[in-house]
Each structure stands twice: as structure tokens, then as C-alpha cells.
Chains A and B, each alone.
Chain A
Amino acid sequence: MDPVRLLMVEVVEGVGVFLALLTFAIVINKALREVGEALDRHRRTLIEPAVFEYLGAASSRPQRDALPRSSSRRDRRLVEEILLEAARVVKGETRDRVTAAFEALGSVRETIRALHSRRWWKRAEAAERLGLMRSRTAVEPLVALMSDPEAEVRIRAARALGLIRGSTSIRPLVSALADPSRWSAIRVAEILINVGVEAVDELLVAYETLPLNARVSALDVLGRIRSLRAVGLMKQCLSDAHPDIRARAAHGLGLIGDPGTAPDLIRALRDTEWPPRAMAAKSLGRLRDPAAIGPLRESMRDRQWWVRYNSGEALRALGPEGLEALIDMLSSDDPYARHMAVAQLEEGRVIDQFVADLTSNDAGKRAAAIRFVDKVTAAARIDDTTRQAARSAQEGVRHALSNILKTPSPAPASSPGKGDGGRS
């Protein structure tokens, strides 16, 4: 036979044998996996009731006696799996029983060993499991893991420490607010916010020792936790040398909402830098102290847009008295304050109310509406009223506004239900 042809036959045969073996290996692998899964399901149906009984039991029987006894690795893995599933949905006494079970089974010890794996994803997975196990014996190894070179591992360790809680686990989280990666620091801050009031004392104790960026984050966390215990530090920070700290403290005081801090925030409206002034104005809107109306009116004349905007918004949040102050600002000699007052009255739909009164049967209401629209016109911000003069569905409103604005009365913008399609 031709040697080339012989070679080709051998190659085809070889490929055929290879494919047959590969198919056989895939089939065997699939069969083994399915058998394994079926065995898991079967064993699980036998093990699950005992684990559930242990978790639901009110008495505190020793864990080793209560949990299913088996030396098989499969059974131990299944018990661990059931406990991890339960760990995600229970709290209280049952949650403590889950932790006790993990400790009794030796799962905590084994998972801690996995934290030393050379593969970063195995370390990350082990950290996550330890967070669900919530054993305090894992705190120290997890704290060590916070120095891992891999950012994802550090974050999983931080999350686990946040779940375990307790001062020993929260302290390293507070230090991690100074993580060089901004992304990691933000995630650590979120973890501390989820920890809640338990994190407050550690944050307060560590605050002075933290670098600037971490102090800013710490104030943010304290504000979001909304603990009254942080008010003292926040008030103190309003006089900090750094404007970012002063701004964050002013913001935090608004989130906490202690009415006693209104005088401090009113003082902060006179800060030399605009970010603390803007944040103080925003927070005064949250506190809703009528004493802030006068200072907020004054801040409507601030040279910075954000301060004027937050002051106007705060006045709006202060209810009828605040709105009255905004209407009064329409006659201010400061054009920026007048413009901001109009913008805020537009946003608060106050202009709409007055415009609707232009066709009221009540002569007093009509006169007040005309005076108001005159003020808006004088404030040189007539965009919205001009738009309404052209497009209002009520003919009376269109005529009245057109008369005040000294513009020709337009024809109706569109018939009801047809919209403004095609108009610029």
C-alpha cells in the first residue's frame, strides 16, 4: 500500500479512537456527577431533618450530640452546606446555634486554614464562609487577611469582619477606611454603615488617629448611621482646619437630625469656604428649625451657586414660613438671590398655584396672584411664566399672564388630548 495513504488511514484511526475515548470520558464524567448529585440528594434528605431539628430546638443540647454523626466527608460537607444556607436566613438564638455547630464540626478551623491558600480566590471564598460562620475565633486571621495583596480578598475579609461584629472585628475595619484604594475604602465604609450603631464607639475612639481621607469617610459613616453619640465630634469638627472635614461634619449633623445642633449649623453658614456653607444650608433644611429662616435668607445672597441653591431648597423644606421668605426674596436687591428664589418657587410648584389664582373668583386671591407674578417679572426670571402664558390649558390664565408680561395673547397651544407635538 502507498505509504502516504497508510499514514492517512492511521491518522484517521487515531483521531477516531481519540474522539471515542473523549466521548466515553465525558459520558462517564457526567454519569459520575449525576450519581454523586443523586447520592447528595438522598443523603441530604436523611441529614436535613436532624440539622433543622438542632437549629429549631429551644434547648441547648451539646452540638456534637444534636448534630448528625457521620465520619463520611460527604455527610460533613452536606451538613456544612445546610448550615450555611440556614446562616443566610436566620438571626437571633438560632444564628448562635449555627455558629456553635460550625465550631463543633471543626469547619471554622478548616476554613481558617484555607485562608493561607496560594490561590487568591480560595482565600476570598474562605473569608466569605467565615463571615457566614460568624465565629469569633476567625477574627484574628481575618484581621491578618486585611493586609492581603489582593483587594478583593481584603474586601471579603472586611465584609466577614463586619458580619462577625464585636469591637475586635470592627477596629480593623475602621483602620481600613484609610485603604490606599479609594474603591476599597468606599466598600469598607458601606460595611461599617451596615454594622450600624455597634461601629460608632470604635469610630469615635479611632477618629483622631486616622489620616485625613479616612476621617472624612468616618464622618460620613457616622452621619449615615445617625447616632446621636456622634453629635459631639461632629460639632467639634465644624471648627476643623480642613474644609472637607467641616463640610462632612455639617452634612452629618443634618443626617443625624438633632434639633439642638441648629445654632452650630447657622454659625457654619458663615464659614470662610463654600462647601461647609452649602452643607450647613442643606442640613438646616433637614432640621426644619424656623430660627434658620433669617440666616438662610441671608445665604441666598451667597456668592456661590451651591450655597444659594441649598439655602433656597432648605427654605422650601421649612414650610409656609420658608416659602414666605422665598417670595419675599423676589424683591431682593441681589439679582442672584432673586433668580434663585424664582427657581425654588418654580421647583416647589408655588408659581403654578399663583398662576391658577389669576382666574379665581376671589378678587383678593386674584390681586395677590397679580402682585406675585409682577414680582417674578421684576426678578427678570420669566421663563416659566412666559411658557405658561403660551401653553396654559386655561384661556383666562393665558390672557391674564400675557397682560402682566405685556406680550400678545397667543392662540391656544393645542386642543385637549393632542399635546404639543411639532411645536418648538
Chain B
Amino acid sequence: MRDLALHLLYIAENSVAANAKNIALAVCEDLRGDRLTASVSDDGKGMSAEMAAKVVDPFVTSRTTRKVGLGIPLFKAAAEACNGSLTIESEIGQGTRLDVDFQHSHIDRMPLGDLACTLLTLFVAYPQIHWLFEYEAIPANGKPAEKFLFDTQPIMVELGDIPLTEPAVLAFISEYLESGVAQVRAAIHN
């Protein structure tokens, strides 16, 4: 997996598989503190503390197609290689929260990738889920932080029974996400 956006995509897929109704993704590029943090939290079925501690082991998975799962162990290894960490908190019936952080300036830190594309594919594929996305950038030079919030609920309310794959709707959401992400990025990459 080449970048953070792709990792977040499959972590969110895990939340979908856990029957979550609300899934929140947050990414923060904190140049002041030199950290890149991300989290995915859901209100899915959750897992026991014992299972949560074990999913970072490649030979533990809840899926039935195969007996190994590499997603989370590789993500954790990537974070730890960059002076970071990956933690999972979960409670049965309450949901799961995954937190990951990296040293932002670390030479091996994976690139951010295309966050807008990850969000778009998740929303279009699972419109029945309430998605909440937050992307924040904190510049190193003391300038104010920039934040982009994307909440799918008002969009679903507005659309009613018009499907997200209606071309004009798709164009709207895709532009909305791209311009929102670009605006935050501009605060730190220019």
C-alpha cells in the first residue's frame, strides 16, 4: 500500500464490515509538532480487548476466505518505522477506533495520497453510512490552522432519492472534496 489515503480506505472497509452506521475519518498534518496523525472511528460491532490486541498480528483475522490478514500489521510497521505508532481501541457493541501517527518529516513516511479519491469511493459505495471526514493542517510558521470538514448527512438529506451516481451529483461531490482538500493542503504546501 503506497500511501496513507489507501491505508485509510481499507481501514474504513473494516468499519463497514463491522456494520458501522457512523464512520469518522480524521487526518491532521501538524507541521508545528512535526506529526502526521490519522484516525478512523466507527460505531460498529467492535471486538474484545483481547481481539483488538491481536489484530496487529498477521495471523489473526476475522475473515473466512483466508487465515492471514496483513493490512493492519503492515500499517503498524510503517508507522513504527517513522517514530510513530498504531493503536486500536475497541469495545464489543460500542465500536472501534484506530489511531496512527508518524513523524511528519521522516524520510520513510508514506505520502498522504489522494484523500479526496478515498472519500469519494467510500461515500459512493456506501451512501447509507454516515461519513464524517476532517482534514486539518497546522503550518509550522505560526499561521492559523486550516480545516476541511465533510459530512455526508446534509448531502443525503438534500438529495432524497437521487442516487449519488447521477453524473451531476458525482461531479458535485468530487469537486467539493477536491477543492476542500486542496484548500487545506495549500496552507502547508506552497
A and B physically associate: no
